[in-house]
Amino acid sequence: MLHKGKLVIFLLSALIALYGISAAFYGKVVATDQAYPALSVLMDALHRIDEDYVEPPDSNKIQQGAMRGLIDALDPYSCFLSREQVQELEKRHQEAAGGIGAVVSKRGDVVYVVSALAGGPADQAGVRPGDYIIGIDGASVDNNSAVEVESKLRGEPGSKVKLSIFRSARTEPVEIEVQRALEPPPAVNAQLLEGKVGVLSLSSLRPPAAEQAKTKLKTLLAAGAERLVLDLRDCAEGQAADGAKLANLFLRSGVLYLSKDREGRIVEQAEADPAACLTDLPMVVLINGSTAGAAEITAGALKDHGRAGIVGERSFGAASYQKRFPLKSGALLILSTARYYTPKGKMIQEDNARSTGIRPDVQSPDSDRRQELLVEAYYDDKEDAAKYRELRARIQKEQLEKALEILKAMPNEARRAA
């Protein structure tokens, strides 16, 4: 009877919670018409579990499982964490200063490596953008959120973590051991190429990267740069405001990005500050599949205002805002409450993989050339890791050459931002 009583309380709680969620998703009128049929299916399933499952079910375990499944079905960045998980994450965040130098997300139900910092622990160990992490230290991450995986990748500097990785070119998982290290400050590099072309490269947009970019850009301008390449390939860290700050160095006016809620209402709108703009020189932006988040805000703003040509590959598509909702039980709900848009209204993060992200004006390499490079790499006698690095280097070299070719064709005089 006691077990029955607990389950009844749980069922009632689930009913109330799901009705509220349905109302939030569909509006009160639609929820009235549609929520009850959905709830009846849930109630029927719970009744069968209570009556026929092989052993008395744990109501807390069922509730947490239901919540996790419900939130995981929304998007890769929303998640539900139990009180115990929250405590574990907080402890790890306070004590674990080391990381592997990789940005992860989820595609479908699988943890995906968006980017690996060049020269960082993950990169040196052989982890690649596009890898799927299926296990950490021998434990599956099938039911883990991206937040949990990020936490498990952290640890004491010098400690090691073993990753089980699936990559498309292999039929069996790859086991890679990575030694954690302190997170280095964001790297911003600048160089002046032949023809007075200044190249500004950012590996991250974590603070103070945007400020460092401002300083480096001033150095390039002082050195006589007449054209610019902004290299945002593999740049996958930072907040929307950091991306807007970088874009503002090249734009004197206009909207830099918008964020909208589910009703399409504008939650935030960032405008360019004329005083923050440093240059109107012709420019090209380089992006690839590991360009994500703040860097997509930058690329989207410069593209929409006609300020720069975009060269490379379609960016990753990670641009949403997450809000944390602490629950009375000590659990935590992390929900995406807004998505970011480019100035012309293009939603950066879309569910459709073919339309998400920022599309380059000029794809480099194009599909045929990429296939040629892949075939050449396949027949190379070098070992797998060396093949990959050489292929990656060739692609990056051709992308830069394409950017320089496009810059050369641009008018030499300085252009005003739109």
Using N-to-C axis directions, what is the helix angle for 240-248 and 294-304, rounded to 10°? 40
Last residue of a domain, one of 139, 155, 182: 182
Q: In which element (H, E) is residue 191 found?
A: strand 188-193
| DSSP states of 192-235 | EETTTEEEEEES--STTHHHHHHHHHHHHHHTT--EEEEE-TT-
Q: Looking at the domain assignment, is residue 417 inside a domain?
A: no
d(CA 148, CA 416): 45
Mean pLDDT of the chain: 86
Domain range spanning residue 151? 83-182
Last residue of a domain, one of 155, 182, 209: 182
**Residue 40: predicted pLDDT:** 73
Q: Looking at the domain assignment, is residue 39 inside a domain?
A: yes
Are both 57 and 120 inside the same structural domain?
Answer: no
Please compute the mean of the pLDDT values over residues 209-223 and round it to a whole number: 97
pLDDT single digits (tens) 312-333: 999 999 999 999 999 888 989 9
Are both 192 and 92 inside the same structural domain?
Answer: no
Q: What is the CATH number of the domain that holds 107?
A: 2.30.42.10
Higher pLDDT, 45 or 387: 387
Are both 272 and 395 inside the same structural domain?
Answer: yes
Are both 277 and 134 inside the same structural domain?
Answer: no
pLDDT single digits (tens) 379-402: 555 667 888 888 899 999 999 999
In this prediction the pTM is 0.85
Residues whose CB falls within 8 Å of the CB of residue 189, separated by 6 or more in sequence, listed in order: 199, 200, 201, 216
Q: Using alpha carbons only, how large is the chain's radius of gyration in Å?
A: 24
Count of domains observed in the chain? 3
Are both 276 and 357 inside the same structural domain?
Answer: yes
Q: What is the CATH number of the domain that holds 347?
A: 3.90.226.10
Q: Looking at the domain assignment, is residue 72 inside a domain?
A: yes
Q: Looking at the domain assignment, is residue 416 inside a domain?
A: no
Q: Looking at the domain assignment, is residue 418 inside a domain?
A: no
pLDDT single digits (tens) 155-184: 999 999 999 999 876 778 999 999 999 988
Q: Tell me the percentage of the chain whose pLDDT exceeds 90.
A: 61
Last residue of a domain, one of 134, 151, 182: 182
**Residue 417: predicted pLDDT:** 35
Q: In which element (H, E) is residue 348 found?
A: none
Please compute the mean of the pLDDT values over residues 281-309 and round it to a whole number: 97
